[in-house]
A and B are shown apart, each in its own frame.
Chain A
């Protein structure tokens, strides 16, 4: 009796039915797994930023480090406060350097970061600030940590090299909270392992109006892990709704 036919290996071509899109998606998922973005095991949803920005995963991943390059300290702090308020839990705000500019709870509360959840830290030394950030990120009871350098200080003395940012990223993965780095904007930001990098600048709202109006920012996603960069977008903070709204694209094109 002849032996039953052995199952043969599939031919070395794409089987019909798997199109390029599916393949790409599978590859992306695999890269994401390799990069560790899938290590979210904490079961918490990503933190939403704004409708219609096309973020991979629908928002900022927790258990990861994100960078915000701000042209002005005010808009950067407000954007960060909005994200940290949405993290839903205890937040540590670490200020480095001299105590000239401090996070101001009544203002941060406008963006959803309530004083009950906020703990302020002040580290005179940059190395102490990094240490505090790492320790805090490693703690599972902390929902978010922000590190802001001395805005008027020497940027070289407050640099964050690749090793340091990797340490912070690993700490965030261990603890599960979100880590934010709020830094002054620079032309050529040094490389880092942050899961996303944003650039934010304050903008004057289009159109005339009485008074100072709602805060309006120009937001740009410089890079994100597992996704494409995007923007710039013009967004406006709506205090009543407690969220930022993206201007229509036509208006954006006009203002750009």
Chain B
């Protein structure tokens, strides 16, 4: 039997204003701050900080009223996208505690800490640690731990003193909570419930379910069930957990490149040892760095073949580490192998490029391509049967074996360079079906000395309707040789330049 899951919820009651104060450190601390948003024609407060709350301001008040109550009030417009971005950043930050960290929009986080708490000395200690760090980063925070995500979220919002509720007792714990913060219902429904004298969650839990559903909607029942631990909604983590990883916390934050390199070396050795033990190789590895101020930075590399050689991975990271901005230093770094593939015995499986038998050379080549892929586009094109030139090649995975060339694939009139998009060109032909006699190219007229064609290429019927193209090879007086086609109805045919012939 699996252990019951445990969830940690963090609620940031003044998230929007805390974010503003972090972004604008010179805002005076002793002046109330509020954020407003337009709702139709009205401007309402959407968030207030503690000082503004103490002055009697509440979210939902009209802006004019608020200014009358607190004349020195600082006001800022709301920025929901900015809030969401920062919340996602915090969820990434919270991956230091567990790989399963999710948003609890608009102002909370939910962490699945099943099996993670012993690293921190218990659930209460983990909760205290997380709260402490967020508080130091400038956020007011409350938290709770419970056996269901919604329960933890409600306890964090409504209970206030960081409770750790045992699994299986959700209903008793949420019972005394008041409905408004625990269920997060919309104001109209709240008013209705209040009018009926229903103040706590326990009041609602006591009522017969069919009546509740009929009168207030199924949504309310769903929320109640989630709260009481009767119904488990899966957590949607900001990032799916990595296949394998290695991490290290630092007592002293590191800033210098030398220190980062040394740490990366140790992490790579650990990760590669784990990969070897698992018989896998990494295709994508991400270095995550937690900065002292709570920002999380990522550096990702991808490889063409599964890899677990620390030296090679180090080489791939070398150029990319410049992107890290240590600021005041990193306090934790982790390597995650986000994509892995089975890999046997330390050998590279794909040796297909150029039909090489030489394993060492194939390895060198695979490593080279991995390095190149970090900065430039690398591709291979495989022959394919297709009528039109654009369709006679197909992209091939870098290290896959090349299929045989179909018979007739190499045509004697194939251009060596192809225009990615055919380009209109002005052409004079004596008769509509004749090859060109004169064309205007690069702003100059060019008489055509020789021409060959037309060769008609029909569109592939299974791709839907299209227009046939009549291809011509022409040699200009200057010696240049071009590949043109004519397409369209006879009365309105257009000439297009499509390639350069040798």
Give A residues with C-beta under 8 Å from B. Answer: 71-75, 77-79, 81, 89-90, 94, 99-111, 114-124, 128-129, 131-132, 135-136, 139-142, 201-204, 209, 211-213, 215, 218, 237, 239
Partner pick for A142 among B365, B405, B473, CB 8 A cutoff = B365
A101-B500, A108-B416, A212-B451 known; A118 and B480 CB under 8 Å?
Answer: no
On whether the beta carbons of B376 and A132 are closer than 8 Å, the reply is: yes
Q: Within 8 Å CB of A213, what residues of B?
A: 450, 475
Partner pick for A78 among B375, B402, B405, B502, CB 8 A cutoff = B502
Nearest residue (CB) in A for B380 is A119
Known: A81-B416, A102-B417, A142-B368. 19 other contacts (CB 8 A): A74-B417, A90-B354, A99-B420, A100-B421, A104-B415, A107-B417, A107-B499, A109-B405, A111-B502, A114-B405, A118-B381, A121-B376, A123-B377, A131-B375, A139-B364, A202-B480, A204-B479, A212-B474, A213-B450
Q: Within 8 Å CB of A103, what residues of B?
A: 416-417
Partner pick for B393 among A106, A110, A128, A215, CB 8 A cutoff = A106
How large, as a class, is the contact surface on chain B? Answer: 35 or more
Q: How many A-B residue pairs have CB under 8 A?
A: 183
Q: Within 8 Å CB of A71, what residues of B?
A: 479-480
B69 at the interface (CB under 8 A from A): no
Within 8 A of A (CB), among B336-383: 353-356, 358, 361-362, 364-365, 368-369, 371-372, 375-383
The 8 A CB mask of B477-495 against A (1 = contact, 0 = none) is: 1111110000000000000
A106-B392, A110-B410 known; A77 and B378 CB under 8 Å?
Answer: no
A72-B500, A132-B376 known; A106 and B383 CB under 8 Å?
Answer: yes
Within 8 A of A (CB), among B434-465: 449-452
Q: Within 8 Å CB of A90, what residues of B?
A: 353-354, 356, 365
B323 at the interface (CB under 8 A from A): no
On whether the beta carbons of B475 and A204 are closer than 8 Å, the reply is: yes
B414 at the interface (CB under 8 A from A): yes
On whether the beta carbons of A203 and B479 are closer than 8 Å, the reply is: yes
Q: Within 8 Å CB of A104, what residues of B?
A: 389, 414-418, 499
Min CB gap B81→A, angstroms? 29
Partner pick for A211 among B354, B371, B450, CB 8 A cutoff = B450
Q: Within 8 Å CB of A110, what residues of B?
A: 410, 412, 414, 416, 502
Partner pick for B365 among A72, A78, A141, A218, CB 8 A cutoff = A141
On whether the beta carbons of B410 and A109 are closer than 8 Å, the reply is: yes
Q: Within 8 Å CB of B412, what residues of A?
A: 110, 239
